[in-house]
Amino acid sequence: MKKISCSIAQTWITAYVDGSLDAKSRYSLEHHLLYCPQCRSVHVATAGLLSRLKEDVPSEPGETFWRQYDSSLNALLREKEIDRDRSELSWNVVPPALAAFALILAFGLGLVSRLSVPTRSLDTLSPQVVEELDRLYGPSLEEEISLRGGGLTIAAANCDPLGDDAIVPWFEVEEDAYHFPQWDQTSGPTDRQSSRRLDGRVASLDKIGSALRQDVPHRPECKQRLDASLPRS
Amino acid sequence: MKDEELVKQFRNGSKEAFGELVRRHSRPLAMMILRIVRDEEETRDISQSVFLRAYEAIPRFMMASSFKTWLYSIALNAVRDHLKRRSPVIACDAPDELPDPSQTPAEQLEKAHQYAALRKLVEELPMKQRLTLQLRLYEGMDYTEIAQVLGGTAAGARSNFFHAVKTLRGQVKSNHEKD
């Protein structure tokens, strides 16, 4: 057995009392304590201290405490779960909301660009582009003809009297005041006190056709094309 | 079912899994906190904040240690923060346990004073020594576990325990000599 000094013995005493000293060291220490009163007093003091510390523990709270503790903890966690569910829900809503917003934005931008195209300067565009724009958005100024008859003034686009293959893909109708009583039987405008433009695409094509045929005898090429392209009433 | 399995279930959306973890650990954790802070109201507040933190942090729990160790390390951080903020407890607190009927009132009073004085000395220890001492004595943790929950090494935890006991022993002796 290895003899140990007091300083080593006193270093080991805490671990010895604590129960964490290995067997060999424990044996050496116990032997040392047998003949060393100074280290023995340190051992007694340490054992007393740890014993008092272990004794001085708060007693377990009563059932009332645990009931309140459990219920308030459960309530807090439920609240937390609700918060988490809400946050997950809002994250689930974000992508569709963004998609809807993007769609609305695209539609809005499309509408704006559609409305703004006819105001662009056509001089800078090639004839093919002008023709395509006319087909889509309306007439270029040179190709517009104005026809009157039956209480309507019809501005027809691409009804070219020189005879290319344009038909009437776009037209505007102005309703003359106090005329064209047929509108009363249709879903057409009822305020005939005013004269205004109608979008040709919502007017009945056969009405437009008959009005145009009635008023284009001085433009036979245009009439021919109207006969070919517009329905007869 | 193991704690780690419940953690996985909770991560996969099972709310009941976290409820089960709370049921398993809430009382032992509260008792550990109570033994350190010695106040039921504060224990309740700290313990609740620990479970709320765990609820939020569980997606980041890497499972490098056991769930219990991870939970206790959150708790001890909260306790440490709390003790730093809290003003020291008055030394003449009454003892927490019931009086020993075999002792006279004078002896009981003397013992109460001894406990209160000892508690004050423990509170004055450096935080890591204090927590190491309390985890070792009250929770029966070994030094490896203490190192895991408080940070550091097992040898460091052992050293902290040794220094805490040595300091207390010296101060108790010096108080005794003054009396």
A172 - beta bridge partners?
A155, A199
- Residue in the block written with tokens 């030394």: B91
Indicate the burial class of A57 (C-beta count within 10 angstroms; 0-12, 13-18, 19 or more). middle
According to the model, what pLDDT value does residue B144 have? 92
At residue A197, φ and ψ (nearest 5 deg) are -90, 140
Q: Please give the span between the terminal C-alpha atoms of chain A, in angstroms, as a whole number.
A: 127
Nearest CA-CA distance, residue B38 and chain A, Å: 7
Nearest CA-CA distance, residue B83 and chain A, Å: 17
At residue A148, φ and ψ (nearest 5 deg) are -120, 150
Distance CA B84, CA A22 (A): 36
> Does A60 touch chain B if contact means CB atoms closer than 8 Å?
yes
Interface residue ranges in chain B relative to chain A, Cβ cutoff 8 Å: 15, 18-19, 22, 26-27, 30-31, 34-35, 38, 40, 44, 47-48, 51-52, 55-56, 95-98, 114-115, 118-119, 122, 133, 136-138, 142-143, 158, 161-162, 165-166, 168-169, 172-173
Which chain A residues touch B119 with a CB distance below 8 Å?
Answer: 56
Which chain B residues touch A52 with a CB distance below 8 Å?
Answer: 114-115, 118
**What residue in B sits closest to A74 (Cα-Cα)?**
B19
Can you tell me the ipTM of this complex? 0.83
Q: Which residues contact B91 (CB under 8 A, 6 or more apart)?
A: B116, B117, B119, B120
Q: What is the pLDDT of residues B66-95, one digit of tens each?
A: 899 999 999 999 999 999 887 665 444 445
At residue A95, φ and ψ (nearest 5 deg) are -60, -50
Nearest CA-CA distance, residue B96 and chain A, Å: 5
What does the block give as tokens for B28? 């032992």
A154 - beta bridge partners?
A147, A173
Nearest CA-CA distance, residue B63 and chain A, Å: 22
Nearest CA-CA distance, residue B74 and chain A, Å: 16
Indicate the burial class of A187 (C-beta count within 10 angstroms; 0-12, 13-18, 19 or more). exposed
- To the nearest 10 degrees (0 to 180), the angle between helices B143-150 and B67-85 is 60
pLDDT tens across the length of chain A (233 residues): 678 899 999 989 999 998 889 999 999 999 999 999 999 999 999 999 999 898 888 888 888 898 888 888 888 888 877 877 777 666 677 778 888 888 898 888 887 766 654 544 445 556 666 566 555 555 444 445 555 554 555 565 554 444 433 344 455 655 554 444 444 444 444 433 333 344 444 344 555 566 656 655 555 555 665 565 554 54
A residues 68..97 contacting B (CB < 8 A): 68-70, 72-74, 76-77, 80-81
Ranges of residues in chain B whose predicted pLDDT is under 70: 87-101, 179
Q: Do B98 and A58 touch (CB under 8 A)?
A: no
Distance CA A179, CA A176 (A): 6
